[in-house]
Amino acid sequence: MKCLGFRNLFYVVGNFMTQSSEISFELFDGGDLIRIEPLYVIKYNSALDWDKNWINTRVTVKGGAFTGQFMADFTTMDFELLKRDIKKLDEDFSGIGKFEPLEGQLILHIKGDGLGHFEVNCTAVDQPGIGGKLSFFLTFDQTELKRLISELDKITKLFPITGDMTIKNE
């Protein structure tokens, strides 16, 4: 077994669970915040490759006076696709980026104005399909893009896409 040496975030290597908080994706604007912390790969007893790519994740949100934290399951592909979109935004400031996981617990739509300013439409739902919903906007500028790409790169390296999937890690 191998410990990857990160702090305060739970993840599984083999049958060993360790802890780390160095790995997260964070968007913030003043006091508003979206923080996504992948904790560990969920080990379903399944032969399907799709089931080998789910990550238990802690989501922290703060929009205006509202704040909360909930657990959500995202796939390794969700993080890879977001990373690709953010890389495209770094090349084209008028582009669009999306985080739209299957369960719909956190939706992020990022839109550039062409000048290096970005608006993020955030929707967080604490339980898939039936939970409470918080919607708000964040803004950031192009100076944050390299950090966001780096954060997503760390996540996709620690939680790579496994099996015979149509999407592969870059």
Rounded to an integer, what distance in angstroms lies between the CA atom of residue 170 and that of residue 83? Answer: 9
Instruction: Compute CA distances 9 → 40, 56, 78, 132, whole Å.
Output: 8, 11, 19, 26
Instruction: Compute CA distances 104 → 6, 44, 124, 125, whole Å.
Output: 28, 20, 8, 7
**What does the pLDDT read at residue 21?**
53
**What does the pLDDT read at residue 57?**
97
CB-CB contact of 18 with 11 (8 Å): yes
Q: Which residues contact 91 (CB under 8 A, 6 or more apart)?
A: none
**What does the pLDDT read at residue 3?**
32
CA 61 to chain centre: 13
Q: pTM for this one?
A: 0.85
Please, what are the domains in the chain? 11-158 (2.30.31)
Rounded to an integer, what distance in angstroms lies between the CA atom of residue 154 and that of residue 23? Answer: 7
**What does the pLDDT read at residue 129?**
84
Alpha-carbon dihedral sign for residues 153, 155, 160, 166: negative
**What does the pLDDT read at residue 170?**
87
Reported as a single tens digit per residue, the pLDDT across 122-159 is: 999 999 888 889 999 999 999 999 999 999 999 999 99
Residues of the chain with pLDDT under 50: 1-20
Which residue from 33, 59, 58 is spatially nearest to 139, judged by alpha carbons? 33
